[in-house]
Amino acid sequence: MKLFKKTALLIIVSCILLGCVSKKKIVYFQNDSIDQAKVSNSYSTIFKPDDLLQITISSADINAVKPFNLPAATYSLLSDNVIGQPSQQMYLIDNQGYIEFPVFGRIKVGGLTRIEAIKMFKKKLSPDYVKDPTINIRISNFKVTIIGDVKKPGTYTIPNERITIVEALGLAGDLNISGVRNDVQVTREENGKKIIYNVDLLSKKTYTSPVFYLQQNDFIYVKPNNAKVQSASYNQNTGLFISIASVLISLITIITR
Structural domain of 121: 52-139
Say what the pLDDT of residue 5 is.
Answer: 47
- The reply to whether 126 and 193 lie within a common domain is no
Asked if 169 and 150 count as a contact pair (C-beta separation under 8 A), the reply is yes
CATH number of the domain within which 68 lies: 3.30.1950.10
Say what the pLDDT of residue 149 is.
Answer: 96
Asked if 104 and 120 count as a contact pair (C-beta separation under 8 A), the reply is no
In a domain, 132, yes or no: yes
pTM of the model: 0.74
**Cα-Cα-Cα-Cα dihedral sign, residues 122, 125, 127, 133:** negative
All residues at 6 or more sequence positions from 29 whose CB lies less than 8 Å from its CB, including other chains: 201, 202, 203, 204, 206
- The reply to whether 172 and 134 lie within a common domain is no
Low-confidence ranges of the chain (pLDDT < 50): 3-8, 11-19
Cα separation of 232 and 229, whole Å?
5
CATH number of the domain within which 156 lies: 3.10.560.10
Among 139, 165, 184, give the residue marking a domain's end. Answer: 139
* Number of domains forming the structure of the chain: 2
Per-residue burial over 49-59, b if 16 or more Cβ lie within 10 Å, else e, is: bebebebebeb
- The reply to whether 174 and 194 lie within a common domain is yes
- The reply to whether 147 and 133 lie within a common domain is no
Say what the pLDDT of residue 39 is.
Answer: 78
